[in-house]
Amino acid sequence: MSKPETEPVLSVRDLVVQFPTRRSVLTAVDSISFDVAPGEVVGLVGESGAGKSMTGAAIINLIEPPGHIAGGEIRLNGERIDNLSQEDMRKVRGKRISMVFQDPLTSLNPLYRIGEQLVETILTHLPVSPEDARHRAIALLEEVGIPAAASRIDAYPHEFSGGMRQRVVIALALCAEPDLVIADEPTTALDVSVQAQIITLLKRLCSERGMAVVLITHDMGVIAETADRVAVMYAGRLAEIGPVRDVIKSAKHPYTAGLMGSIPSLEAEVSRLVQIPGSMPRLTAIPSGCAFHPRCEQAFARCRTERPQIIKTDSNDVACWLHETVPAP
């Protein structure tokens, strides 16, 4: 029986990630929820320390101890995966979920040829012969835009440029035909022109293969070009989530509005970009109420004492008391 098309590939519900210390327990990801549908790119965006990468690490169960998932659920195609054993999770990781990291050299072993690494991954996850695996590896390299793939498959990682190495890593992530790809800052270390090529590649592969993609970045330009929906994170919490066009054009949360205002525009001439005062709070000193209230010019008394829950608006969902509708008496 086939799954309904409306079922999300990834469903995260009330996810909490904590790190116990001698003095207290630090909450790095604080009750966030979102879905990713087949063929959809959902961007996670925010400043450094917002909890973006930690969310990605939680999804594939690669949180460094003593960090751990302290609450919530993560489901892949309806099946809960956050409570799997390490052995069972290893079968999911790489086969059903793949990861693309910021630095391709963290994913590629410099001592082995590209082809050897691709073939080994294919043989690990798919029931094919070594010869078929090599043919698949060449086809994957061609699919991600490596020229003369049949000859370059026997090259070492250092013989490729940064952009080409990242293409190889994407090919590596696609080896087992995963349902979900988590891309953590996949373009940060690349030149702007190469960034555009990698973004185009990710979008094309997503639409052609029907994969779900979680794109983690601090770059709103990358999000605007790549993602279908965007989730804005702040201090481990979800500030706003909605379609990219709506979030960029009519941000509801003051933090999101500040992020949008800090992006230079080619259309409008401004003498000074918007600046958000202050900095992201440390995990040891997250303010009460709304975590953003010390930096928010629109904060009022309730913001300082009561944490806002996600409020649905006409376009975006936002965690901000400014958008609470008071019921009629």
User: Which amino acid, 270?
Assistant: V
**Can you tell me the distance from the alpha carbon of 243 to that of 36, in angstroms, rounded to the nearest whole number?**
12
Going along the chain from its start, the domains and CATH numbers come out as 10-96+176-323 (3.40.50.300)
User: Which amino acid, 167?
Assistant: R
pTM: 0.90
Neighbours of 104 (CB within 10 A): 23
**Can you tell me the distance from the alpha carbon of 31 to that of 12, in angstroms, rounded to the nearest whole number?**
10
Question: Residue 9 is encoded by which pair of tokens?
Answer: 């590939």
Q: What's the chain's Rg over C-alpha atoms?
A: 21
* Block mean pLDDT (10 aa), the chain, length 329: 66 97 93 95 92 95 93 96 92 91 86 96 93 96 94 95 92 92 87 85 88 91 90 96 93 91 65 79 92 94 94 91 66
| Distance between start and end Cα atoms, the chain | 49
Are the C-beta atoms of residues 208 and 38 closer than 8 Å to each other? no
Distances in Å between the alpha carbon of 61 and those of 16, 54, 104?
Answer: 13, 10, 20
User: Which of 27, 194, 328, 296 has its CA nearest to residue 320?
Assistant: 296
**Three-state SS across the chain?**
CCCCCCCCCEEEEEEEEEEECCCCEEEEEEEEEEEECCCCEEEEECCCCCCHHHHHHHHCCCCCCCCEEEEEEEEECCEECCCCCHHHHHHHECCCEEEECCCHHHCCCCCCCHHHHHHHHHHHHCCCCHHHHHHHHHHHHHHCCCCCHHHHCCCCHHHCCHHHHHHHHHHHHHCCCCCEEEEECCCCCCCHHHHHHHHHHHHHHHHHHCCEEEEEECCHHHHHHHCCEEEEEECCEEEEEEEHHHHHHCCCCHHHHHHHHCCCCCCCCCCCCCCCCCCCCCHHHCCCCCCCHHHCCCCCHHHHHCCCCCEECCCCEECCHHHCCCCCC
Strand partners for 184: 216
| pLDDT at site 308 | 95
